[in-house]
Amino acid sequence: WPGSGGTRGGAAMDLFGDLRRMNKRQLYYQVLNFAMIVSSALMIWKGLIVVTGSESPIVVVLSGSMEPAFHRGDLLFLTNFHDDPIRAGEIVVFKVEGRDIPIVHRVIKVHEKGNGNIKFLTKGDNNEVDDRGLYKEGQNWLEKKDVVGRARGFLPYVGMVTIIMNDYPKFKYALLAVMGAYVLLKRES
């Protein structure tokens, strides 16, 4: 095997050799560096939640129900400002009681009552029927409390990494291991 010292386990031995040669101070520094990266990512996520008003400001489209508007793997950016009225034609992400995964569909009908309450009906652009079959039993309309956010922008296919990691858990763990090893073993220049 080229570059592995002539053995199959050469790459793994090089990795463990690097870890053994690293003094405790370097190891602590790298672990702290890794912790800073993770905490920075969490702070950015929490900041996005505050700025967008959405509990989940970025979501991945998991099915083809919104094609051609959005495809499986598209990354959506959401906002959820409660003052903005919900209108027909708008694309919303909503959660239904009894389902863990939010759904991305278009609002097709809106009922506004005199007291300010709004109820609305959704449908996937690529679906034949509206979403009443997806709502909890006996529910015919969604309310503002069911909305996670409204689509404000998207990046095509960027979320495919998330779909691959969910479909192939071994790939996810391998990717996390490689990223962790890189951060821990990265040398200061």
The span from the CA of 105 to the CA of 53, in Å, is: 19
The span from the CA of 41 to the CA of 44, in Å, is: 5
Q: What is the pLDDT of residue 187?
A: 58
Could you list the active site residues? 65, 105, 131
The span from the CA of 88 to the CA of 77, in Å, is: 19
Let me know the angle formed at the C-alpha of 44 by 39 and 30, rounded to the nearest 5 degrees: 30
Q: What is the pLDDT of residue 167?
A: 86
User: pLDDT in tens for each of the 189 residues of the chain?
Assistant: 444 455 555 666 666 666 666 677 777 887 888 899 999 999 999 999 999 999 999 999 999 999 999 999 999 999 999 888 899 999 999 999 888 889 999 999 999 887 778 999 999 999 999 999 999 988 999 999 999 999 999 999 999 988 988 888 898 888 888 887 887 777 554
Does pTM top 0.85 for this prediction? no
Q: What is the pLDDT of residue 189?
A: 47
Q: What is the pLDDT of residue 15?
A: 61
Q: What is the pLDDT of residue 40?
A: 96
State how far the alpha carbon of 101 is from the alpha carbons of 9, 40, 82, 104, 156, in Å: 41, 26, 22, 10, 20
